[in-house]
Copies of this chain bind each other. A is one copy, B any other.
Amino acid sequence: MDIHDLTRALHTKNDSKIVMLVADGLGGLPHSPDGPTELEAAKTPNLDKLAQKSVQGLSTPVLPGIAPGSGPGHLGLFGYDPLKYQIGRGALEATGIGFALQDGDVAVRCNFCTLDGNGNISDRRAGRIPTEESAPLAIKLREVKIPGIEVFVEPVKEHRFVVVLRGAGLGGNVEDTDPQATGVPPLKPKAHDADSEKTAEVAAEFVRQAQELLKDEKKANGLTMRGFAARPNLPTYQAVYGLRAAAIAVYPMYKGLAQLVGMDIVGAPQTLDEQVQVMKDHWNKYDFFFLHFKYTDSTGEDGNFDAKVQRTEEFDAAIPKVEALGPDVLIVTGDHSTPSYLKSHSWHPVPTLLYSHCCRPDGKTAFHEKECITGGLGQFEAKYLMSLALANAGRMGKYGA
Task: Answer yes or no: A190 CB below 8 A from chain B CBs.
Answer: no
- Is there contact, CB below 8 Å, between A92 and B396? no
- Is there contact, CB below 8 Å, between A33 and B374? no
- Is there contact, CB below 8 Å, between B347 and A92? no
Task: Answer yes or no: A373 CB below 8 A from chain B CBs.
Answer: yes
Choose among B6, B64, B86, B363 the residue that contacts A400 (Cβ–Cβ < 8 A). B86
A27 nearest CB neighbor, chain B only: B360
Choose among B1, B93, B376, B399 the residue that contacts A373 (Cβ–Cβ < 8 A). B376
Choose among B3, B53, B66, B401 the residue that contacts A399 (Cβ–Cβ < 8 A). B66
Residues of B within 8 A of A400 (CB): 68-73, 82, 86-87, 92
Q: How far is the CA of A52 from the CA of B33 in the complex (A)?
A: 7
Contact mask for chain A residues 348-386; partner B; CB cutoff 8 A; 1 contact, 0 none = 110000000010111100000110011110111000101
Residues of B within 8 A of A378 (CB): 58, 349, 373, 378-379
Task: Answer yes or no: A65 CB below 8 A from chain B CBs.
Answer: yes
Within 8 A of B (CB), among A32-67: 33-34, 37, 52-53, 58, 62-67
Q: Give the copy number.
A: 2
A395 nearest CB neighbor, chain B only: B65
Also in contact, A375 and B376, with CB within 8 A (given A64-B388, A342-B358): no
Task: Answer yes or no: A285 CB below 8 A from chain B CBs.
Answer: no
Q: How far is the CA of A92 from the CA of B226 in the complex (A)?
A: 47
A10 nearest CB neighbor, chain B only: B66
- Is there contact, CB below 8 Å, between B347 and A33? no
Task: Answer yes or no: A199 CB below 8 A from chain B CBs.
Answer: no
Also in contact, A339 and B358, with CB within 8 A (given A347-B388, A373-B378): yes
Q: How far is the CA of A326 from the CA of B288 in the complex (A)?
A: 50
Task: Answer yes or no: A390 CB below 8 A from chain B CBs.
Answer: yes
Contact mask for chain A residues 89-102; partner B; CB cutoff 8 A; 1 contact, 0 none = 10011000000000
Q: How far is the CA of A388 from the CA of B349 in the complex (A)?
A: 11
Residues of B within 8 A of A86 (CB): 400
Residues of B within 8 A of A401 (CB): 69-71, 89, 92-93
Q: How far is the CA of A349 from the CA of B376 in the complex (A)?
A: 9
- Is there contact, CB below 8 Å, between A396 and B362? no
Q: How far is the CB of A272 from chain B (nearest CB, A)?
A: 25
Task: Answer yes or no: A391 CB below 8 A from chain B CBs.
Answer: yes
> Interface of chain A, helix or strand or loop or mixed?
loop
Task: Answer yes or no: A333 CB below 8 A from chain B CBs.
Answer: no
- Is there contact, CB below 8 Å, between B65 and A384? yes
- Is there contact, CB below 8 Å, between B72 and A399? yes
Residues of B within 8 A of A82 (CB): 399-400
Also in contact, A341 and B358, with CB within 8 A (given A34-B52, A384-B63): yes
Q: How far is the CA of A67 from the CA of B392 in the complex (A)?
A: 11
- Is there contact, CB below 8 Å, between B399 and A358? no
Q: How far is the CB of A172 from chain B (nearest CB, A)?
A: 16
Q: How far is the CA of A84 from the CA of B5 in the complex (A)?
A: 13
A391 nearest CB neighbor, chain B only: B65
Residues of B within 8 A of A349 (CB): 378
Q: With a 10 A CB-CB cut-off, give which of A71, A92, A341, A387 has the most chain B CB atoms.
A: A387
- Is there contact, CB below 8 Å, between A29 and B65? no
Choose among B1, B69, B339, B344 the residue that contacts A83 (Cβ–Cβ < 8 A). B1
Starting from the known contacts A62-B399, A71-B401, A378-B378, 14 additional A-B residue pairs (CB-CB under 8 Å) come to A3-B63, A29-B358, A33-B53, A65-B389, A67-B398, A67-B399, A70-B401, A71-B400, A89-B401, A344-B398, A345-B398, A348-B360, A362-B373, A373-B374
